[in-house]
Amino acid sequence: MVRTRFAPSPTGYLHVGGARTALYSYLYARKHNGKFVLRVEDTDEERSSEEFLRLQLSDLKWLGYISDEGVEADTLKDIGPYGPYRQSERLSIYREHADKLLKEGRAYYCFLTDVEIDLQRKEAQRMGRPPQVSSPYRELPLKEAEKKLSNGEKAVVRFKVPDLTREFSFVDLVRGEVKFPSDMVGDFVCLRSGGMPVYNFCCVIDDALMKITHVLRAEEHLSNTLRQMMLYEAFGYELPQFGHLSIILGSDRQKLSKRHGATSVKEYRENGYLPEAITNFIALLGWSSPNAQEILSQKELVEQFSTERLNSAAAVFDEAKLKWMNAQYLRALPHQELWARLEPFFARAGLKLPQDPAWQDRSLSVYKTSIETLVDAIEHYRPLSQDAFIVYEEANEVLKWPTTKIVIEEWKRQLASQSDQYISEAQFLTVQDTVKNICKAKGKELFMPIRVAIVGKPHGAELKILVPLIEKKTLIERADIVLSKI
Ligand code: GLU
């Protein structure tokens, strides 16, 4: 049975790269009717927080990558038979594993101080050797080490790197055969002196005990894999299959970072991107559909996903493409659904828009093609908000023109003579013509006062689009407000 996992560290927001790792792990599990596990790697006590965990899980849920096992997004409680799923709650498990290695002589207590280690590193650098620790405590019998510990001395538990001449190799799902000379690493720390385990140690124990079969993760973890393979061997655990995903670059081909703009899922979510579009977009960062499809639903991704099509070359995060994709998804949504997604954005911007579904539908037919993100809709709808009308300072000059008052009065009169709740585009153009003829005003003197009477300023959105979306009685109220200022 295929078991994949996503193992976020709750030390920040969910990064788009993290989301991609989660997506691929999720797709692989779904495709093979396996299980997708969510494990929390929170052994970095200082940087981890419950709040980041909650936010990351909520973003994953929003994206739709729901785990079968692990820490659950809403309750933050464990689900599944291999818990606890937070590393901070598994310390006794790590301790037992460390004790086992110590007893077998595969690990040892190392009493080197930071200063001593630093000196060793500097010396190695000077001699042009790799900066590896050579500990005088490597062969110290366990009993003696324990005596030192009981005298209050501090020690880390170091793994005894087995055979310095052997080569370690494995077949990576993305990059094929990867070979490491084992002298690439020196004896490495498993437990810090306070007893806190380090990432490589926990990761191996958890992946093994949680029966993970496929580990898909970022390329930056490739160098950790050597240490992890040594630990798998020492514990006698079966190696999972690893796939190290290509790095993601910004458009300038530098590693994607804050400098490039939004990098967290949270930012894209707040900027009005749809989860379907983000999923589609990140799926194609390092993977391609066998039939070169660009727009793929989550269902199609599950059907088509395979590790064979993962690309080891760096992927470029093209924000313009993401925006384009977002617009495609947004425009394909049924209006009712699109409205439901827009509502929280309108509410946050303080807009009060008609609850009438027919109006919502009509307005979306007008604006849908001019928005690429949900946030884009706010400025289009702002003039339609029911209590948003103010007369802006930019209108002052128009208000001083001698013809303005009569134009707006006539505009109001013509509106009042219309019988429908809304006036159509054609009716609006007729009304405008009538005002023009009666008031003998044309050009700026006609259009600007009418515009001020509708949106409170002499510039802005096209009126023939806007007017049919504003109730006639609201248009009259707005005209009255403007007239009161003249
Ligand atoms: N907690 C690690 C990270 O956030 C996960 C590494 C792994 O997948 O093995 O990068």
For 253-303, write each residue's pLDDT tens digit.
Answer: 888 888 888 899 999 999 999 999 999 999 999 999 999 999 999 999 999
352-370 core/surface letters (b: 16 or more CB in 10 A; e: else): ebbeeeebbeebbeebbee
Q: Whose CA is nearest to atom 8 of ligand 1?
A: 217
Q: Is 7 near ligand 1, meaning CB less than 6 Å away?
A: yes
Structure confidence at residue 302 (pLDDT)? 98
| Phi-psi map region of 105: left, alpha, beta (phi>0 left; psi -120 to 50 alpha) | left
Q: Is 41 near ligand 1, meaning CB less than 6 Å away?
A: yes
Determine contact, residues 206/87, Cβ cutoff 8 Å: yes
Q: Is 56 near ligand 1, meaning CB less than 6 Å away?
A: no
Structure confidence at residue 165 (pLDDT)? 76
Decide if 258 is catalytic.
yes
Task: Using DSSP, state whether 385 is helix, strand or coil.
Answer: coil
pLDDT at 249 over 80: yes
Report the Cα 67 to chain-centroid distance in Å. Answer: 16
Distance in Å, CA 464 to ligand 1 centroid: 55
Q: What are the percentages of helix, strand and coil residues in the chain, rounded to 5? A: 50, 10, 40
pLDDT at 183 over 80: no
Question: Could you tell me where in the chain the CATH 3.40.50.620 domains are found?
Answer: 3-87+248-316, 90-245
pLDDT at 64 over 90: yes
Which residue is it, tokens 């707040």?
A: 270
Q: What is the pLDDT of residues 193-226, one digit of tens each?
A: 999 999 999 999 999 999 999 999 999 999 999 9
Structure confidence at residue 387 (pLDDT)? 79
Q: Is 221 near ligand 1, meaning CB less than 6 Å away?
A: yes
Question: Could you tell me where in the chain the CATH 1.10.8 domains are found?
Answer: 333-384
> For a pocket test of ligand 1, which of 25, 28, 42, 203 has the largest count of ligand atoms closer than 8 A to its C-beta?
203
Q: Which residues sit opposite 79 in a β-bridge?
A: 70
Lowest mean pLDDT among 64-73, 179-188, 406-415, 418-427: 179-188
Which residue is it, tokens 């299980």?
A: 35
Distance in Å, CA 161 to ligand 1 centroid: 22
319-343 mean pLDDT: 97
Q: Which two tokens stand for residue 231?
A: 């630990």
Which positions ≥6 away from 424 have C-beta within 8 Å?
Answer: 468
150-176 mean pLDDT: 92
Distance in Å, CA 182 to ligand 1 centroid: 22
- Which pLDDT band holds residue 164 (cuts at 50, 70, 90)? low
CA of 6, closest atom in ligand 1: 8
Determine contact, residues 412/480, Cβ cutoff 8 Å: yes
Instruction: For the chain, give the percent of residues with pLDDT over 70.
Output: 100
Q: Which of 258, 444, 464, 473 is labelled catalytic?
A: 258
Q: Other C-beta atoms within 10 Å of 377: how many?
A: 26
Q: Is 198 near ligand 1, meaning CB less than 6 Å away?
A: no
Task: Using DSSP, state whether 38 is helix, strand or coil.
Answer: strand
CATH of 3-87+248-316, one of 2.40.30.170, 3.40.50.620, 3.30.230.10, 3.40.190.10: 3.40.50.620
Q: What is the pLDDT of residues 92-141, one digit of tens each?
A: 999 999 999 999 999 999 999 999 999 999 998 898 888 888 999 999 99
Question: Could you tell me where in the chain the CATH 1.10.10.350 domains are found?
Answer: 393-483
pLDDT at 354 over 90: yes
Structure confidence at residue 75 (pLDDT)? 97
Tell me the CATH number for domain 333-384: 1.10.8
Q: Which CATH class is domain 90-245?
A: alpha beta
Q: Does the domain made of 393-483 have the CATH classification 1.10.10.350?
A: yes
Which positions ≥6 away from 136 have C-beta within 8 Å?
Answer: 112
Which positions ≥6 away from 14 have C-beta within 8 Å?
Answer: 8, 22, 55, 56, 59, 60, 264, 265, 266
- Which pLDDT band holds residue 400 (cuts at 50, 70, 90)? very high
